[in-house]
Each structure stands twice: as structure tokens, then as C-alpha cells.
Structure 1
Amino acid sequence: MAERLDQPRESRRSFLPRPQADQDAAGRVSESIARFLGTPSFIFWLTIFCIVWLGWNAFGPEDLRFDKAANGFTALTLMLSLQASYAAPLILLAQNRQTDRDRVQAEQDRQRAERNLADTEFLAREMASVRIALNEVATRDFVRSELRNLLEELLAEQAEQADADEPAEPGAERPDGKPARAERKPERRRV
């Protein structure tokens, strides 16, 4: 079978099995250790440990000392270096996980802000359409003034109708000051 050039080669080093670790579990462990390394209680207990180590190896029984002061407490230096060499990567792992969480949180915040902006813009458009619609709606005062005008017109027409129905004497005036029309009597026609 011919090798495909558009795909990478498979790794042929399979003589050592790779350990499979749960990334999330390892991250949680590293974070818990890094959290403890950053606390005052860790500093306190490390100081107590170093004082006991130095006191035992400087003032303890000669035959029970395991780290000689003449050698500059080499074992203590080695222990502290080992602790520091493991602490630094653990702290970096914890920082990387925190950075990932911050990135996810920032993305969620950005999406929430976009939704809020879209909702705000929608509400602003709706408020504008309500304002436009309210400008076209008759207000209570407008309706009252129109009804008042119609009532005045009806009363005026009714008054005119009442004046027209009353028999008027020649030369009499109507209440509005205009001369009254004389009522015409129907004429009889002679046949």
C-alpha cells in the first residue's frame, strides 16, 4: 500500500507503553498541592521541619546524626531542592488550569454580554415602536375636545331646528339676532 502524503506518518515507537492518566484528576491533585504550597501554614510547617532537621543534626547525639554540619547539611539542601523542583511545575500546572477556566469564563461573559446587548437593542426598538404607535393614538384630552366640539355642533343644529319649527311673527328676531322667517301657510289652490 502506498504512503499517503496528505497524512502524517504513524509513530512506530511502540516498544514503551505510555501511561494513561486522567488529565482532570492530575490537574485537581496539582491544584490542591499548589494551593497548599501557597499558604502560610506550609511556610510554618516547612520552617518547623528545617529547624528540627538543623537542631537534630547540629546538637543531637553524635552517632544518630544523618546530615553532617561539616558537609553543609547536604541532605537538607537536597530535600529543599527536590521540593522546589516539584513545586514549580505543580504551580505552573495549576496556573494553566486557572488560565483555561478564566478563558472559558471570559468566553461565557462575552456571550452573555452579546445576549444582553441584543436584548437591550431589541427593547430599544420595541420602545421606539411603542412611542411611534402612541403618537398615532388619540389621547384622552383629544377625544374629550372632539366630543365637546361635536356636542356644540349638535346643540347648535338642534337650536336651529327648534327655531325653524317655531312659528315666527313678522319682524321678530331669533335669539341669535337674525330676523325670523315668517312661516308660510300652505296655500289652497282653486280648482
Structure 2
Amino acid sequence: MSHDTYELKAEKRERVGKGSSRELRRNGLIPAVIYGDKQEPIAITLPSKDVTLKIHAGGFMTTVATIDVGGEKIRVLPKDYQLDPVRDFTMHVDFLRVSKDSQVTVAVPVHFINDEKSPGIKAGGVLNIVRHDVEMSCSADAIPEFLTVDLSGLKVGDTVHISHVTLPAGATPIITDRDFTIATIAVPAAGVSEEETETAPEAE
């Protein structure tokens, strides 16, 4: 299941535009918007420090939060955010309004376990990760924290497809038309080319 929920206090934003946004950031605030659930979007401001801490703590995009807008508590899921490329502070956040029955699309991180039980990796093979996360459709109240891939028994050349992964109840991949690849156990680049085996047979 997803990370613990949290609450942020916000103020409604009357003025919008670049000049207004720059002024907010100078005052330690960031502009944000809450949209969705067939309601009008709400422009808000949030304390920059609080939001940036949540982003860097991990799980930000897969955790349902509550935003208190002048006493009205709105359940949301972060859908997008912008970081300043130079100074690494948050510039803007988009939040999707969610209810108990909302179906949401989230990028769920993939965790790999038992690499020490993989004959391929023990023999020098390399775990080649094709997808670090998988886009999933699930209930807003049951967002998986991560997907687990067990590498036990995998040999060099083996491929892990999504069909090999035990998916949390109620969560389905967005890609449904193929059994896509999550990772492979690849031959290490060193010591495998024909040229290398010809020029240095004694290394085998």
C-alpha cells in the first residue's frame, strides 16, 4: 500500500500569471492548482518548504494527501510538479481531486529483490532494468507503494515480463496489449566479444 497520507495548509490564490508566481516564490510560497472530479479548478498557494520536503521524501506522486484550503479539506493526488533546474526548488504543483471511488493512473516504482539468489548475476550477469516504474490504474485508496520483482533463479539471458510480477489486488497495468519487459539479465560487456576471446584466450 502507499505511503502514509499527510495534510498541507493552503490559501486560495486570487492573482495568477508569471509576475504573481515570482512574487509568491520570493515569499516562500509556490503556486498550485487543484482540478478534476468534475469541479472547477482551484488556484492555491502552498508553503514551498513543506512541499519540497514531501517531494524529496519519496512516494510523492503515489500518496493521497489532504489540502486544507481555508478550512475546506480536499483529498488530492499529485499529478505533476516542476522543479527549478538550477536551484532545485519547487515551482508549481498540479493536484488531482480524488474521492474514495476515484480510479487514478500512477507510475508505481519497481523494486528488485534476491539478486544474490540469481545464478545469472552470481556468474557476472548484469541486471538491465528496462522499466524503473510501471504505469498502473488503481483505486485512489489502494495505490501500491511499489511492485516487487523476485530475481531468484534467473539466469543470463532471462527476461522478466510484467506477467511474472504479482500485481496488487485492484491494480492493472495501463499497457494491456502486450506482455512488456521489466528487466533482463544481460551478459556483461567485458569478456564476451569474439574479438576479445581471440586476442586473449588465456583470460578465459
Higher relative contact order (CA 8 A, sep 6+): 2
Decide which structure has greater helix share. 1
- TM-score, scaled to structure 1: 0.19
Q: Which structure has the bigger radius of gyration?
A: 1
- TM-score, scaled to structure 2: 0.18
